[in-house]
């Protein structure tokens, strides 16, 4: 089938390369003219040298060309980009085709999950066809065809099954899940906790500290899940705990790398420039902090990440404030 792919980041590259390897006709759209020209010529992503994609993949600056006649659409822009991109894309979409989100975030200003942003732009009639793909899936490891397992989630079972069918390979397992809110919450929030773990690494702390941060940070996310009404079991799965572990531990994680640079004295803008890619956790932490405040949930780790990124709190002072917190019952 023809797949219209919106986005040209490293994660997008790994996924549209996978889709093309299954015989799909993939047309990739992006706004960066220089990058589109480079991808068209070399078939390699500058952030992932040595892993060329199929010659059959077509790259374009024309979103109409990518979407017209597409039987399946995959989003790979950013959390902040979903609304403006689909506001432009909606006039070219065929009706009743799956639209799959792969970005992980919560929109600032509205606190909407990205699936809700999509429905806000396209209309409620698209709900049966909206889904997402989430889980521990570092781009370089997918390109190396290391075994990986992720979650495909949607509002309707049929769309969930179509995600599984489109993306599954012998090395890339897609497990179905109908708790799309829980899948999106886990995928978005693990990036915020990964920034905290990166700060921990950058300050020279050890594995004991990182393990405690991951566990206590995930307690905060579970409190939020309970308030929203997600299935907490989802957070114990691939789109929750597994993705948290991969993002907090891997040297390939840009969210963890951001935390390390912040601990080394970089401010956010300088750290992002050094990484050279969008860091979704930095975007999501604003919405996350707003959500926990409204819900009156105690979330000191989320608060610390927010204050470091948005208010200039030093990582060292953030650690001091965390250590000064009263110790309460470990359970939720």
**CATH (residue range 2-178):** 3.40.50.720
Q: What is the pLDDT of residue 320?
A: 86
For the segment 183-203, what is each residue's pLDDT rounded down to a tens digit? Answer: 999 999 999 999 999 999 999
Going from N- to C-terminal start, the domains of the chain cover 2-178, 182-323
Q: Cα dist. 151→48, 160, 192, 250, 328 in Å?
A: 24, 9, 20, 19, 34
Q: What is the pLDDT of residue 323?
A: 78
**CATH (residue range 182-323):** 1.10.1040.10
Q: What is the pLDDT of residue 195?
A: 97
For the segment 50-79, what is each residue's pLDDT rounded down to a tens digit? Answer: 999 999 999 999 999 999 999 999 999 999
Q: What is the pLDDT of residue 327?
A: 67
Q: Determine whether 104 is an active site residue.
A: no
Q: Which of 156, 168, 92, 82 is nearest to 119 (CA)?
A: 82
Contacts of 90 (CB under 8 A, 6+ apart): 121, 122
Q: What is the pLDDT of residue 325?
A: 74
Query: Which residue in the list 190, 269, 274, 328 is annotated as catalytic?
Result: 190
Q: Tell me which long-range contacts 269-275 makes (C-beta under 8 A, separation of at least 24).
A: none
Q: What is the pLDDT of residue 222?
A: 94
Average pLDDT, the chain: 95
Task: For 56, list phi and psi in degrees, rounded to 5.
Answer: -75, -15
Q: How far apart are CA 26 and CA 307, in angstroms?
A: 41
User: Tens digit of pLDDT per residue, the chain (332 long)?
Assistant: 999 999 999 999 999 999 999 999 999 999 999 999 999 999 999 999 999 999 999 999 999 999 999 999 999 999 999 999 999 999 999 889 999 999 999 999 999 999 999 999 999 999 999 999 999 999 999 999 999 999 999 999 999 999 999 999 999 999 999 999 999 999 999 999 999 999 999 999 999 999 999 999 999 999 999 999 999 899 999 999 999 999 999 999 999 999 999 999 999 999 999 998 889 999 999 999 999 999 999 999 999 999 999 999 999 999 888 877 766 766 65
The two tokens of residue 47 are 């952030």
Q: What is the pLDDT of residue 234?
A: 95
Within a 13 Å sphere around the CA of 225, how many CA atoms are in the beta-carbon half? 27
Q: What is the pLDDT of residue 121?
A: 98
């Amino acid at each position: 089938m023809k797949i219209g792919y919106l986005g040209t980041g490293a994660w997008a590259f790994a996924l549209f390369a996978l889709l093309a390897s299954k015989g799909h006709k993939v047309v990739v759209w992006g706004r960066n003219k220089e990058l589109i020209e480079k991808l068209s010529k070399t078939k390699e992503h500058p952030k992932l040298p040595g892993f060329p994609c199929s010659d059959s993949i077509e790259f374009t600056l024309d979103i109409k060309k990518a979407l017209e006649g597409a039987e399946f659409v995959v989003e790979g822009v950013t959390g902040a980009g979903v609304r403006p991109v689909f506001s432009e894309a909606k006039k070219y979409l065929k009706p009743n085709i799956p639209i799959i989100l792969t970005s992980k975030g919560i929109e600032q200003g509205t606190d909407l999950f990205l699936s809700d942003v999509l429905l806000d732009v396209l209309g409620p009639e698209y709900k049966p066809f909206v889904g997402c793909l989430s889980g521990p899936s570092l781009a370089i490891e997918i390109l190396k065809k290391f075994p990986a397992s992720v979650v495909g989630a949607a509002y309707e079972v049929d769309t969930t099954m179509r995600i599984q069918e489109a993306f599954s390979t012998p090395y890339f397992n897609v497990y179905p899940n109908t708790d799309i809110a829980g899948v999106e919450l886990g995928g978005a929030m693990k990036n915020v906790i990964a920034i905290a773990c990166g700060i921990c690494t950058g300050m020279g702390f050890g594995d004991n500290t990182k393990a405690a941060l991951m566990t206590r940070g995930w307690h905060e996310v579970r409190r939020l899940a309970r308030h929203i009404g997600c299935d907490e079991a989802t957070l114990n799965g691939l789109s929750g705990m597994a993705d948290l572990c991969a993002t907090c531990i891997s040297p390939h994680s840009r969210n963890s790398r951001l935390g390390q640079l912040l601990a080394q004295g970089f401010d956010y803008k300088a750290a992002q420039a050094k990484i050279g890619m969008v860091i979704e956790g930095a975007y999501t932490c604003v919405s996350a902090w707003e959500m926990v405040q409204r819900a009156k949930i105690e979330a000191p780790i989320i608060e610390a990440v927010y204050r470091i990124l948005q208010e200039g709190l030093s990582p060292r002072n953030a650690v001091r404030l965390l250590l000064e917190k009263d110790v309460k019952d470990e359970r939720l």
